[in-house]
A and B are shown apart, each in its own frame.
Chain A
Amino acid sequence: MSDVVEKTLSALPGLFDSQTGAARITSRLRQLVKSITELTSKNEEESLIKQELSSMKEQVSSPNTSMMREIMVRAMYCEMLGYDASFTYIHAIKLAQQGGVLEKRVGYLAVSLFLNEGHELLLLLVNTVLKDLQSTNVIEAYMALTVVAQVFPKDMIPAVLPLLEDKLSYPKEIIRRKAVLALYKFYLIAPNQVQHIHAKFRKALCDRDPGVMTSSLHIYLQLITESPDDYKDLTGSFVTILKQVVGGKLPVDFNYHNVPAPWLQIQLLRILSLLGKEDRSTSELMYEVLDESLRRAEMNHNITYAILYECVKAIYTIHPKAELLEKAARCIGNFVLSPKINLRYLGLKALTYVVQHDAKLALQHQMTIIECLDHTDFTIKRETLELLFRITNAQNVTVIVEKMLDFLHGCSDEHTIIHLVGKVAELAEKFAPDNSWFIQTMNDVFSTGGDLLQQDVPNNFLRLLAEGSESKEEDDQLRLYAVNSYLTVLKGDASHLPQRFLQVMSWVLGEYAHLQESVDQREVIRLLTQLLDQRSVSSETRVWILSALTKISEGQTDLILDLAESLSSSQDTVLRQQAQELRQLSQDSQLYEWVLPRGAPWDSMEVDSSLSFLDGFVSEALAAGAAPYKPPHQRQEELCEDRALNLEPYSFSLPVSLSSCSITDRQSPTLLSVSSGLSGNSTELSQKAGSSTLILEGVKRVWGRDGYLRQNETTAPPVDEPSAAVQPSGQQEAAERLEPQPEPSTQNQDKLQLASSLFVGLGAGSSMSLLGKSEAPPPRFRKKPRPHESSSSSSSGTSERSSDSSSRSSHSTTDSFLYGSLLEEEPATSISAFSHTPKSSTANGLAQNKDTKEDRRANTSQILGGDMVIVRPNTFQDKHPSLVSSDLTALLPADLKDLPHSDVISLTSDPSLSLSSCRLFRDEALLLVILISNCTETVIKDVAVQLTCEELETASLRGNVMNCLEGNSTSVCHYALLMDEPHTNVSFTGTVSYQTQPGHTNTLSFSGTLSAADFIRPLVVSTEEYGKLWLSLSHDVKQNLKLLTDASDPLRTTLNALKDALQLHVVDIIGSEGIVACRLLSGAPCLLHCRVNGAALAMWLRSPHPALPDCILYHCQRALAQH
């Protein structure tokens, strides 16, 4: 007892010290804040903060930690004001490392505020985090989890991952919840590192604490957004959860303004709408609960509107149901008509969304929409325009575009301008009623959009002009309008026009000025030269103007020569070159004719894509000892290799010099593509060097990556002699129309008329046609499909699919967990798994099968019936009792006996038949052998086996139909299965039908799973070949794996373990590095480079197939975990 007192007494002075420290804290900070608020100018503030920082710098060097907390808070304050306090970063980390709980807290907070994920100092924190995660003090673990979810270096994720997984089963719910969110964060920054714990996410979803379940929804929202198909089986669970939440089954704590867990509802509704999208059967599951939500959400608080809004969105997203749609439409009406401005905004948003499905709804609210159009709120106006944009058609386009332009003129927000101007341009292109309107509108777009415009707006416009439509006459008229309009613009004051507009104008004038015969070409030249003299014109625009001049200067050399002369001494090299060319061309009319043939169709231009005319020059240079050309990425690579300190986990210490062979190897395909990509435009283009970016688009692509691109439609009519194109009379008419026509004045008309003009074409009958806006009225200017576009978009997107396909657990477990946790009144029997009636035998079979796997992994002895169990070749011994004695392998056909094979496992059985399967590994396929044994004494007739697997391809099958099977005998049928796309696991299902008595058919269904490991074959290559192959592969993945450290040579042991599990070919092991190769059957190779990195195995995988490395990595992880 006295001991305790003594201790307390001795601790008192320290306590007192810290108190005074704390008192100083506030006073110092207060001093700082006070002086800052008293300041009047930014300058004073700066000097004060500088002073403060320097005093802090002094203080941090003294070892008094009680001050440290206070300094951190001051540093946070300075950083928040935008001053650099980076010298405190290291102290923040120190504080988190060494301090007591309080200091730690401030330290962690400071770290999460100061540092970002890539900051190098963060590495110093990793150990502290690890220590705290393991700490018995809940608060410490809690803080560590918080910091992990905020900032954590990506490379270090494997280190904390197991600890986080442990935390998922921590007794305290807040810890579990934070762990789930931290894992979600990891998933966001490094998806393939957490793919093996998807099953644990499911467990979190079934957590008995609703809070943990809620946080797991973050993950599911993300996962389902990425691949809704993989999670359809969870729909039932989500619906059940939502039902319980809506029904008020959650504790009252979760209520917010008497609404049960509104945020949770919102999240669930979003998930459901993703799942039900374009999926009728899934949608049907959720109709009831959506209806319920709509009904329950009484209009009494903001947050119920939030739920309603999500409900409405979900109803319109999923497969439609008339009754619900009606209710939702009424809801939207309530929103739109609400006096609350926030709700009105959401109403407009909902309308915008809905109008794509049901344009009539907009009609109902047209008066409100008109009101919103004149609303003082900028956001509301914008949203209204967005809505109008969606309902635009050929009839109302002029009014809507006018409204949009009105808005744009009064708008100063850059971002809005960019966004909206693009939309105006899109509408103008799609629905323009006539040429003059189109050109006028585009002029408006260019002058208001200015230089903020996205590059593709002018590009598209020029392309449209250049390529034209089918009718040459119309094209020329449009061009003529453009020329006329630009001449008028240029005659006025052009100094304020944006550069982009000037560029467009000069290009059009250069190309098409000759179409306008009534205007002297000299006049055009004069106008353009005037532009050149203007100071506000940028040098890029000057290049455009000059190239336009070059095009129209033919025969007018007298006007040009001076100009060319003066510009040929310009500072700008591109401009100088252009001027030189102009001078040359103007002196040599023959050359001019050849380089710039007037009106020649682009197709006829020949492009030497291989630049063969340079061959002589190149070979000469090479002979003279020049270095061969290397493409930029190659140079980059070599530069990296040259660096003295290579911190990359991979460095090539292989004995062969790889770089030399790779150059030649690479050069042929890549170089060609680079050069052809650059010169994939006409010779004409090369004349306009310097201004290439824009014109690239204006010119038809004739040469693409793969060589000559065939035009898959009628070629554009060549720009012919002007006389043929434009009749004099038409020309006059054009000139008349050029006069700015009085716009149909809508301002004076009342709103009703505006409404009728805005919503024209949205009438009852036409709502269908609006579903696909593009198909309704044929767009006036039809764009030609860009031939090179198709190739670019196809390559992505395959990789994501496969990563998630592995971990599906049963929906039935989820359900039962939920019943257990949320629905106490549910009969107890339903808690036990598998008592649910299966939705379909397939789903159930799959689910059960997975469960079996899981159970086994968890070493529980609960093994279910005769379900199939997966046995992997050689890796781990299966203790499953239904393992069939290996003498069945003796039954294999003679020609297959020599192949490597897995153990025989029993699939299923009934009183008369028992099925088992065995996998045989052939080089080019997996042979799935199904052994059918007759357990009875009698003969079984007409045995037929049917096997289906969506992901795999069946190359051949044998013995799947038998006329009779003798008593106590066994027959064999085998399937050769091919895997084209890597999947981590694939499941197959099948049925056997047979007759024990004539006319009485029995069926026996079976299912099972195959893993990608079954399809991986060794790739036997030499080290040299490996090196060559390595450089040619593009998709790579890096990750640290567990190293089996129990043996004397850990690398070799680990690689051998992997080799046994996955049939890899170990190419070479040198020191602490090893290279391994394999392939997917006889298809895509995958190269693995392994390096011992401390206690981990740094694995670097490369493959031409984006999904294969992930897949193999997954199996490597599993194999090592099993070992």
Chain B
Amino acid sequence: MRYNEKELRALSRQPAELAAELGMRGPKKGSVAKRRLVKLVVNFLFYFRTDEAEPLGALLLERCRVAQEEPGGFSISFVEDPERKYHFECCSQEQCEQWTEALRRASYEYMRRSLIFYRNEIQKMTGKDPLEQFGISEETRFQLSSLPRDGLSARVSSRLDELD
């Protein structure tokens, strides 16, 4: 698949939400953990050799599952192939929790759900649509009906129903 690699590299140089040196092990069997500089920028996780400015690679964090792994680490896998995991080793349980929290919120889909949730909350409190000030209230991607049918959306939707 073709992609604009130049822009992706430029993105890897943008200010990160979170960055740290972690142990990283790829999903292939028999792969060895290596020290990598790991950087979270928007919905991409970049990883660099610790002494290099150019990233080795990137993971798009959509439709992924982040799980804590004993001891003091976490893994990222993707919905279409849950057994294929990227493993990361942290230096403390705190760091592990910090990363898993940040990674779970780092997808576009998560942001969209949050927006819909806040929009509904504010609408119920004030009777006004807070998206009108941005001129985006009509966009289909922010309607409740645009949420995909999965566990998390069901919870958000039922939460919204409770508030009715």
| A and B are partners in one complex rather than unrelated chains | no
Instruction: Give A residues with C-beta under 8 Å from B.
Output: none
